[in-house]
Amino acid sequence: MDNMTMIAVASIVTAGVTTGFGTMAPALAEGKAVATAMTSLAQQPDASATITRTLFVGLAMIESTAIYCFVVSMILIFANPFWNHVIAQTAGE
């Protein structure tokens, strides 16, 4: 297996693992955050504005983790910095 194939396989596998784990953890965290917020709203309905505002800020922060993982996987697939290194090495041979 040559260097280009090894980098392609490693990039695709890493992008898949990054996307898989990078979306599972935030999904579980968002579910727990919403469940906790619903419990809090049921116990303290007067604080609904504060709880809702804090929930949405927390959900945005949790979702940013999934977005960063998606960006990393897209970089690995479409703008992989290792391609230029391998191409430069093979051109020099």
- For residue 46, give the DSSP letter: G
Place 92 in a pLDDT band, splitting at 50, 70 and 90: low
Amino acid symbol at 12: I
Q: Is CATH 1.10.287.1080 the right assignment for the domain spanning 3-92?
A: no
- Domain range annotation of the chain: 3-92
- What's the CA gap between 93 and 89, in Å, rounded? 7
Position 62 confidence tier, pLDDT thresholds 50, 70, 90: very high
Distance CA 69, CA 57 (A): 19
Q: For position 89, what pLDDT does the model report?
A: 77
